[in-house]
Amino acid sequence: MRLIGVGNRFRGDDAAGLLVAERLRSELPELEVLELEGEPAGLIEAWDGAGAVVVVDAVSSGSPPGTIHRLDAIGEGLPADVFRASTHAMGLAEAVGLARALGRLPGSLVVYGLEGSSFEAGESLSPPVQAAVERVATLVRQEVARFTSGT
């Protein structure tokens, strides 16, 4: 199983996905952890060969900061209004759509979007997003337990 944290650690709440990945790297040795700070299109290569993948990224959909969005990207498309481009030229929704068209999705793909409020350069995480990072780390632990137990 692979966890991919997506974001930019120098743009405030956009670092949320990277921070979830950092927290779980040493804690879950059965989980392969990657951090992607470039274009989300790089996800297609990042999940290549993985049977199950969890992606965590900050989003800006207009929901309250700290809101957690969870979607099964295999069973449903990612809504572009939630997973839009933000600080990336191509958004996560477009990257998943491209991978679907190319037949390059992993067998299981769960995406967590953490609703951010501040994406300014040099800012630290806002308090609601910091709290959401902890909640998503717990949710990813549960995903790993379900996947590794086969349920």
Give tens-digit pLDDT for 120-144. 888 789 999 999 999 999 999 999 9
The pLDDT value given to residue 76: 73
Decide the pairing of beta strands 68-72 and 108-115.
Answer: antiparallel
135: which residues sit within 8 A by CB, 6+ positions away? 68
* Overall number of domains in the chain: 1
Q: Domain containing 77 — which CATH number?
A: 3.40.50.1450
Give tens-digit pLDDT for 86-124. 444 567 788 888 888 898 999 999 999 999 988 888 878
- 12-28: b or e for each residue (b if 16 or more CB lie within 10 Å)? bbbbbbbbbbbbbbeeb
- Give the domain extent around 132: 2-149
Q: How far apart are CA 150 and CA 5, in angstroms?
A: 23
Q: In what order do the strands lie in the sheet with 52-59?
A: 32-36, 2-6, 52-59, 108-115, 68-72
Residue 112 near residue 69, CB atoms below 8 Å? yes
